[in-house]
Amino acid sequence: MGKSLFAPKEVANILGISKQTLLRYEKKRIFPPSHRSPINKRREYTPKDIAKLRRILGRV
């Protein structure tokens, strides 16, 4: 992973789940809330966030 920030669709693809599942898990508090861009308020994920989500899913 050479990028520093990822969009929800990219994260979902990396995790092997759908974007809707990613957002649903966040809403149900299975996943911690994502960071929001201060400019446009879109969700942003760092490689560290992705590693944490992988651990939660048991896909280390």
Q: How far is the C-alpha of 25 from the C-alpha of 52, rounded, in Å?
A: 13
Assigned architecture for domain 8-57: Orthogonal Bundle (1.10)
1 — pLDDT class (breaks 50, 70, 90): low
**Domain locations along the chain:** 8-57
The more confident residue out of 2 and 39 is 39
Buried b vs exposed e over 17-56: b needs ≥16 C-beta within 10 Å? beeeebeebbeeeebeebeeeeeeeebbbbeebbeebeee
Q: How far is the C-alpha of 22 from the C-alpha of 26, rounded, in Å?
A: 6
pLDDT of 44 reads: 97
pLDDT of 43 reads: 97
Q: What is the pLDDT of residues 3-60, one digit of tens each?
A: 899 999 999 999 999 999 999 999 999 999 999 999 999 999 999 999 999 999 998 7
